[in-house]
Structure 1
Amino acid sequence: MARASSPRELHAQALKALARAVQADEARDVRRAKAAYEETCELLLAGVKLGARGFKVEEQRRILLGCLDRLEKISSQDGAEAGDDEDGEDARPGGFRGVAGLAQVKRALREAVILPSLHPKLFTGARKPWKGILLFGPPGTGKSHIAAELSKESGATFYSFAPSDIMSKHQGDSERAIRKIFEEARRNKPAVIFLDEIDSIGRSRDNAEGSSESGRRVLTELLRQMDGVGEDTSQITVIAATNNPFELDSALRRRFERRVYVPMPGPKARARILRIALGSDATVVALRAQEIREFAARLSGFSGADVASLANEALMVPVRNCMNARYFRYVPKENVAAPGLWRRAVNWAFGVAPEGHFLVPCSPHDPGATAMNIMDDDFPAHLLRVPAITRAELEQALQQVKPSVDKATLEQYAEFAAQFGSDSREFAFEDDDMDIEEEDWEREEEEAEREKDLEARNRQREQAQAKRGTEAARATEAPTPARVAMFS
């Protein structure tokens, strides 16, 4: 870094370094980008040391904070590229691991899609995998979600479309769109075609009010493509989802050999949905697994989407508290590490906050309370620590979010499942059936939480012992003049 005699020169050099950083960043050269961003920080901080607080202070602060944000992001990316295979703390599980419960639905999809891809020799002669699967059930139970996760779980080419993707006001365009999707799937086997909201294009043709001439043509083309007359339809699976299976055309219903009911989640499934939706970041969620299980047991009648909505509402409660707060105070940071060291230097240089501190909302009577408003332009948002949610936030969210499915609707699904469903088991309004893999994941999570609790207790014990040792040493120490001056 070249020497400069004035804050103005340092500022000019910092802008040049920033330009190099952005250029390297856009070229995905992480090493050069990090070095240039750090050089920008060094130059601006050097200017502050020379007395640059009055020279473009807001611009310097904005540039520094932008550099720090980007430094932290590319540093984490660099760590992942260097071979860190572990998911981030708040990374959500992918594939079927991210779907709570629904063991029977997973089994049906594995039989139809995953197993034939892994072991094609099992399906020879007259034994063929299912060509059509209908997922039906109340809204918000995860029909579309599990189909989307299937695309990550299987090695098949995945095609997904909704009625709005194919319906057109021009005659013949809708039929051509359906034909094009199936032709593309036949060229890229094995393939899965997912039809969401199938009732929109598959209404019964016997119902004159719910069917039009164009709708009949679209349905006829879909039936023809699913039959695959004159075409090779092996290794192509059609999966459809609907909240309204009662109005499906009987011919279309017949094409789906497996008709699987997607039930409301039971207590275990609701607890898992709640954990996934809340995330695992300890700075955001201060809830033990047992607390989540106890709370989820009270959410009878909630669909998976309702539980996820409740989790989002709970996560927003601390944010609203910050918005409504009129007083904040500084609290010490924990485990500050690079590139957080850069951020501490910036805070110190601009006098934003005491070194190594966060800003949290408080009452006007708390020690160190300072009048602030989060909506003010000069509010130090980069220092704000939103309080982690607790049981109180969940209880508050429960007052706002209510179940979206009534029991009368569930009874209609029970009748349809008894008449047309593929499951021979007794119908249940809620289902906690979990597959072996999900039970293993539950045990792993419980074991990880026990280990975390043990580490926390050991850390607290060590800190208490260290504190007692320090106090004992101070008690035996003579009050030298230097010590007295240090604390005076």
Structure 2
Amino acid sequence: MWLFRSASQDSETPRSSAQPDSRASSSELEKLRGYHDLAKDALERAYRKDVEGSIAEAIKLYRLGLSIIYEGLSITVQATGLGAAFHKVAAWRGDMNNWQQHVLERVRDLETMPADSPTVRAPQRITLQRAYSHSPRLQSSAVPPQSHGVASAGRTGAAGSGVIAKEEARLREVIEGEVLDRRPSIRWKDIAGLAGAKQALQEMVILPAQRADLFQGLRAPARGLLLYGPPGNGKTMLAKALASEARATFFNISASSLTSKWHGEAEKLVRMLFKVAAEMQPAIIFIDEIDSILSERSAGEHEASRRLKTQFLVEFDGVANGSERMVVVGATNRPQELDDAVRRRLVKRIYISMPDAGTRRALLQHLLSGQPSRLSKADVERIVAATNNYSGSDLAALCREAAIIPIRDLGPAVSCVPAESIRPMDVGDFEVALRSIRPSVSREQLAAFADWTAQYGTLS
């Protein structure tokens, strides 16, 4: 789009110029590039709303772009090891400084001029041309959307709007068909333990929905939550239970949900996802394995991946700065791989740790309910003590293995023995099962989670 065409578009950054000893500089370069692209996307969307006459939406997006610009300009990039790539730093920073000045002027005009002012109605003819008049390239390429004439608009408008409507209908069908889970059936009582995580979710989503008058200003709830920890401990179940308890529409996102072989399709799906969620609020957008979608930006990543991250961060900022009743919840086993811009937006970061003895006891009782067994309370305690460092999924696998042993002991006779004649499970079956079902999470992994939690997270 002509309005925010950047000086840095004239050449591409050499993506592999950084040497191994300059990885930090290369990382900062990519962060600056990411913020540059985020700001450009937000300001282009703001301009489109401005031209359409949606002044409130335009101001909101202009201010979002400004906040992204401020963050981008705060990044310091060292020249060490970057070589020819370093010249892009000045170009990107120059773009953002230029945009900042012009957007501040436009926001000031929009907020101070009367609603019936022609400047507000037609920014491309008055304010924006004046604001960019000292930039020859931008001015020469400026072609206002309405300047092509009534006849041209009459010939192409209906056909163009029809194509856009069909495209939106197709994207909406994809979101509603593959992503939307309208009625998650899991409740808090179905999840053993995790009292701290449940309390945080209660304060963040459910209570604000019940008492909106109390959760305002500094008490306004965060819109981003990260559930992280070893696999198999109930992160996805927690998100679904949250949607059930809050009576919210649940959008279950994974990398495959937003992957497409078509150029630009992923960004459109992200935009439609947030649009549909806003229409169906209260809504929870749950991103499983969020590190696979929003990992740290790097010099070697594919252009499509970078555009997807850019679009997601822009939409995410729209949720954080708006009044919609929407929450973005991410789950990951690799929090250290998340991009720092994503980590900052996920304000609440809760560690879903390995189940303690009380939680393992409750899980065992739940798994064994309805299953014939000769386990005493002492036997259950022995199993609880023997399963330290077992995750919830490890315990489930252990119980399944123990439950199959009485059938395995029958040998060939299993084909003709009545079901009621199969002996109940006993503690010996668990002793055998413990030899084959081992913990799936190593001590080194747990230590890495502990280090990350000490730096960024919150214990549940």
Scaled by the length of structure 1, what TM-score is found? 0.53
State the match for 1:223 in structure 2: 313
Q: 1:231 to 1:295 in 2, by over 3 A?
A: closer
State the match for 2:212 in structure 1: 120
Q: 1:94 to 1:148 in 2, by over 3 A?
A: closer
Q: 1:162 to 1:233 in 2, by over 3 A?
A: farther
> Shift of the alpha carbon at 1:416?
0.9
Tell me if structure 1 keeps the 8 A contact 2:222–2:320.
no
> Shift of the alpha carbon at 1:230?
11
> Shift of the alpha carbon at 1:222?
0.9
> Shift of the alpha carbon at 1:229?
7.3
Higher helix share: 2
Please, what is the CA RMSD of the aligned residues? 2.2
Does 2:382 match 1:294?
yes
Partners of 2:186 and 2:291 lie apart in 1 by: 28
State the match for 1:266 in structure 2: 356
Tell me if structure 1 keeps the 8 A contact 2:289–2:332.
yes
Match of 1:254 among 340, 344, 360: 344
> Shift of the alpha carbon at 1:385?
3.9
Partners of 1:203 and 1:325 lie apart in 2 by: 52
State the match for 1:413 in structure 2: 449
State the match for 2:438 in structure 1: 402
Tell me if structure 1 keeps the 8 A contact 2:208–2:215.
yes
Q: After the TM superposition, which residues 48-59 of structure 1 pair with which residues of structure 2 at under 5 Å, given as runs?
A: none
State the match for 1:172 in structure 2: 264
Partners of 1:105 and 1:403 lie apart in 2 by: 23
Partners of 1:150 and 1:288 lie apart in 2 by: 34
Output one character per residue of 1:397-432: Cα deviation in whole Å (capped at 9) or x when no partner.
Answer: 111100111111111111111111145xxxxxxxxx
Amino acid at match of 2:342: L
Tell me if structure 2 keeps the 8 A contact 1:186–1:233.
no
Output one character per residue of 1:52-103: Cα deviation in whole Å (capped at 9) or x when no partner.
Answer: xxxxxxxxxxxxxxxxxxxxxxxxxxxxxxxxxxxxxxxxx95122222211
Tell me if structure 2 keeps the 8 A contact 1:136–1:261.
yes
Q: Secondary structure at the match of 1:122?
A: coil
Tell me if structure 2 keeps the 8 A contact 1:284–1:386.
no
Partners of 2:319 and 2:453 lie apart in 1 by: 30
Partners of 1:391 and 1:94 lie apart in 2 by: 30
Partners of 1:149 and 1:285 lie apart in 2 by: 30
Amino acid at match of 2:296: S
Worse overlay, 245-254 or 311-320: 311-320
Partners of 1:394 and 1:384 lie apart in 2 by: 21
State the match for 2:173 in structure 1: none
Partners of 1:153 and 1:293 lie apart in 2 by: 32
Q: Secondary structure at the match of 1:135?
A: strand
Q: 1:122 to 1:229 in 2, by over 3 A?
A: closer
Q: After the TM superposition, which residues 318-357 of structure 1 pair with which residues of structure 2 at under 5 Å, given as runs?
A: 318-322=406-410, 324-326=411-413
Q: Secondary structure at the match of 1:297?
A: helix
Amino acid at match of 1:188: M
Does 2:289 match 1:197?
yes
Output one character per residue of 1:375-405: Cα deviation in whole Å (capped at 9) or x when no partner.
Answer: xxxx476x55432211111111111100111
Tell me if structure 1 keeps the 8 A contact 2:319–2:326.
no
Q: 1:152 to 1:390 in 2, by over 3 A?
A: farther
> Shift of the alpha carbon at 1:325?
4.5
- Percent identity among equivalent residues? 37
Q: Secondary structure at the match of 2:327?
A: strand
Partners of 1:386 and 1:142 lie apart in 2 by: 32
Partners of 1:174 and 1:276 lie apart in 2 by: 41
Greater C-alpha radius of gyration: 1
Tell me if structure 2 keeps the 8 A contact 1:268–1:293.
no
